[in-house]
Amino acid sequence: MSRIRYGGDYNPEQWPEEVWAEDRVLMRRAGVNLVTVGVFSWAELEPREGEYEFAWLDRVLDGLHEAGVRVDLATATASPPPWLSARHPEMLPVTAEGVRLHPGSRQQYCPSSPVYREHAARLVRAIAERYGSHPALELWHVNNEYGCHVSHCYCDVSAEAFRRWLVRGYGTVEELNRAWGTAFWSQRYGGFEEVWPPRAAPTFRNPTQLIDFDRFSSDELLDLHRAEVAILREATPDVPITTNFMGFFKPTDYWRWAEHVDLVSNDSYPDPADPRSPALSAMSQDLMRSLAGGRPWLLMEQASSAVNWRAVNAPKRPGQMRAWSLQAVARGADGILFFQWRQSVAGAEKFHSGLVPHAGTDTRVWREVEALGAELAGLSDVVGEAPRARVAIVLDWDSWWALEQEATPASLLYPNLLFAWYRPFFDRSLLVDFARAGADLSAYDLVVVPAMHVASPAAIAALDAYVRQGGRLLVTFQTAILDPDLHVQPGGYLGALRETLGVRVEEFAPLAAPELPGAEPPVVALAGSGLDGSTATQWTEYVHVADAEAVAMFAEGDVAGWPALTRRTLGEGKAWYVATLPDEAGRDALVATLLAEAGIEVARGARPGREVLERAGRRFAIDHAACTVEVEPASRR
């Protein structure tokens, strides 16, 4: 594990065997040392129920081993073969509207289906037995992108599983009735058997039912993962295990998942046409390092150039693949892998770029692939050591699920709020860790909590402790509005954080546009320390200061004169509260103030558009507009 892994998904079953030999030659030329095999091979490995055809895969793995390429071997359960649903149509997933999803694409299984589970387990066992001691095996790749197309299933089988999950969580239906608040709208259940997944309904569905179904759906997928892990562990206790995450992916609570992988890995497809992409991919990379507990991780999938699933798919610009790959390395990646090795000539992803493009090796893409392989080989010394962040942003899936429900104060998008606060740090080349709600934050000099809508007592206690131990905390509007049952704590919003922040919120005043065609929401000016000249966006509210100072005020509208930004000093600690989303300039000014207070300096040479990062004695200076990267020893700074 002392070289940066380089390679990608390898699907040789798409090609005649004569191509495999060329593949191995080209892999060596490109410096490929790890490929992921078998992700979509179930139908090839088990073409008829219970009849396995492993010979072809034997030849693939043997050939790779001879070529010195190691294997991330998939359990092949990501997409069941057509014969399975032909025999057991009840294992096909169903939408909230009752539409049964059919074969013809991929991932057509109900996560709760015993049929799917039994057949998948049998396949994993067979693969683990056959290849557990293969010399090419480096890593197990469980399933693939869990939940990316079917994260929630509403079928009758899922309904039963959901009920069992509720019984485990609530014990009695009375407790469920209390937690779900079923006294309202005549929803009181007489027994668990009366409960349904939140299928299509006349109007807004019960919020706690919805979030419990989100939690159940994440858990149910995690169960699938854990069942495979158990089989693999038993067969090969020493082979590490991963499953590929998808960055900020709403349906799966990766905090819970990360405990069940040995190596965190990520699939990342930023849009080459979008100027925000470097910042967005940095945010995704920082999340992976955080999920890995500050340890390195793998970039499991990216594209060599264009993807195929946007309305218009821009290719990567010359140099952009290298720039984004080195950005990942600088932020902790120990591997740079791609989907997929050889671009398909048929099927739904044939217009997704590959390391070997349709046009062959006399191409810009291939030349960049070869060059990157060589360059990564020279960066082996970074492997195993991840860079450290001094800033953390709290990320919480419950809050994501709750904030984006129907019937909330405003249609806020949680990742947009995270990104709004991530961006000023990115523009200064400052690493940011994402922290789990309730985690110990003492390692950080600065912590930001954007819209942590749902807050458990433990989550609040952790923030309070952090400040009281001298930390610098910025909490934004829509934090700690709900408890984990999605109940409001009466008495002024912010719950127990009122103590920490010294403020309470009387009422929300989100910035609403009138219901007219094309109407835009109003903009409210801000006034006060550092925020003069900037404006409030999306949100305002009525905040009472109890034991804090009002640092900036709303300057217009009904909220004129009410605090927009407050600060409470608790010994060395400082607890800030911001009652709006200041515009970009405002956020930038506020972050500048917070960084100065925290004594965090910007890396020399860093500026917006020019990222300067260090890892293990290497300094990476990335110019995103020019798609260039200078890699130097860090001592030269």
Residues belonging to the active site: 145, 301
CA distance 10 to 13: 9
- Cα dihedral value 578, 582, 584, 587, nearest 10: -20
Tokens of residue 292, six digits: 């890995």
Residues 132-171 that bind a copy of itself (CB under 8 A): 148-150
- Residue among 236 and 489 whose Cβ is closer to a copy of itself: 489
Angle between helices 207-235 and 173-180 in degrees, nearest 10: 120
Of these, 164, 168, 310, 367, which contacts a copy of itself (CB under 8 A)? 310
Tokens of residue 572, six digits: 């060395």
CA distance 543 to 547: 12
Residues 472-501 that bind a copy of itself (CB under 8 A): 485-493
Q: At closest approach, how far in Å is the CB of 77 from a copy of itself? A: 9
- Cα dihedral value 287, 292, 293, 295, nearest 10: -110
Q: At closest approach, how far in Å is the CB of 427 from a copy of itself? A: 18
Cis peptide before 340 (omega within 30 of 0): yes
Using rule CB under 8 A, residue 194 touches a copy of itself: yes
- Residue among 24 and 178 whose Cβ is closer to a copy of itself: 178
Q: At closest approach, how far in Å is the CB of 317 from a copy of itself? A: 5
Per-residue x/- track, 614-633, a copy of itself (CB under 8 A): --------------------
Of these, 299, 355, 505, 578, which contacts a copy of itself (CB under 8 A)? 505
- Residue among 87 and 607 whose Cβ is closer to a copy of itself: 87
- Residue among 86 and 238 whose Cβ is closer to a copy of itself: 86
Using rule CB under 8 A, residue 535 touches a copy of itself: no
Contact (CB, 8 A) for 340 and 7 = no
- Residue among 82 and 605 whose Cβ is closer to a copy of itself: 82
Q: In which order are the strands placed within the sheet that holds 535-537?
A: 432-436, 391-395, 446-449, 472-476, 573-578, 563-570, 549-554, 524-528, 535-537, 581-582
Please report, in angstroms and rounded to a whole number, the separation of the first and last CA atoms in the chain: 29
Residues 92-121 that bind a copy of itself (CB under 8 A): 93, 95, 97-108
Neighbours of 66 (CB within 10 A): 11
Strands (E) in 103-243, as ranges, are 137-141, 241-242
Residues 319-348 that bind a copy of itself (CB under 8 A): 343-348
Strands (E) in 84-181, as ranges, are 137-141
Of these, 117, 472, 504, 587, which contacts a copy of itself (CB under 8 A)? 504
189 contact partners, CB below 8 Å, separation of at least 6: 173, 176, 177, 182, 195
CA distance 563 to 576: 12
CA distance 94 to 233: 32
Using rule CB under 8 A, residue 511 touches a copy of itself: yes
Using rule CB under 8 A, residue 510 touches a copy of itself: yes
- Residue among 272 and 438 whose Cβ is closer to a copy of itself: 272
Residue 574: what are its φ and ψ, rounded to 5°?
-135, 135
Total of residues contacting a copy of itself (CB under 8 A): 127
CA distance 340 to 328: 18
Neighbours of 486 (CB within 10 A): 23
> For the purposes of burial, counting CB atoms within 10 Å of the CB of 625, is it exposed (0-12), middle (13-18) or buried (19 or more)?
exposed
Q: At closest approach, how far in Å is the CB of 444 from a copy of itself? A: 31
Strand 34-37 to 5-10 pairing = parallel
Of these, 54, 250, 260, 313, which contacts a copy of itself (CB under 8 A)? 313
- Residue among 148 and 258 whose Cβ is closer to a copy of itself: 148
Using rule CB under 8 A, residue 13 touches a copy of itself: yes
Tokens of residue 568, six digits: 């409470």
- Residue among 331 and 342 whose Cβ is closer to a copy of itself: 342
Using rule CB under 8 A, residue 230 touches a copy of itself: no
CA distance 255 to 246: 13
- Residue among 42 and 131 whose Cβ is closer to a copy of itself: 42
Which stretch, 133-141, 289-297, 307-315, 434-442, contacts a copy of itself (CB under 8 A)?
Answer: 307-315
Of these, 364, 390, 468, 610, which contacts a copy of itself (CB under 8 A)? 364
Using rule CB under 8 A, residue 260 touches a copy of itself: no
DSSP conformation class of 79: S
Contact (CB, 8 A) for 467 and 192 = no
| Dihedral-angle region of residue 457 (phi above 0 means left; psi in -120 to 50 means alpha; beta otherwise) | alpha
Tokens of residue 114, six digits: 């015993």
Read out DSSP for 562-620? SEEEEEEEETTEEEEEESSEE-HHHHHHHHHHHHHHHT--PPTT-BTTEEEEEETTEEE
Contact (CB, 8 A) for 264 and 283 = no
Q: At closest approach, how far in Å is the CB of 457 from a copy of itself? A: 16
- Which residues, in sequence order, are bridge partners of residue 48? 51
Of these, 196, 260, 370, 556, which contacts a copy of itself (CB under 8 A)? 196
Of these, 61, 76, 437, 454, which contacts a copy of itself (CB under 8 A)? 76
Which stretch, 125-133, 286-294, 515-523, 628-636, contacts a copy of itself (CB under 8 A)?
Answer: 515-523
- Residue among 33 and 540 whose Cβ is closer to a copy of itself: 540
Of these, 134, 371, 542, 616, which contacts a copy of itself (CB under 8 A)? 542
Q: At closest approach, how far in Å is the CB of 599 from a copy of itself? A: 35
- Residue among 226 and 317 whose Cβ is closer to a copy of itself: 317
Q: At closest approach, how far in Å is the CB of 617 from a copy of itself? A: 34
Of these, 129, 506, 532, 601, which contacts a copy of itself (CB under 8 A)? 506
Q: At closest approach, how far in Å is the CB of 418 from a copy of itself? A: 17
Residues 544-573 that bind a copy of itself (CB under 8 A): 558
Using rule CB under 8 A, residue 187 touches a copy of itself: yes
Per-residue x/- track, 393-432, a copy of itself (CB under 8 A): -------------xxxxxx---------------------
Per-residue x/- track, 20-59, a copy of itself (CB under 8 A): --------------------xxxxx--xx-----------
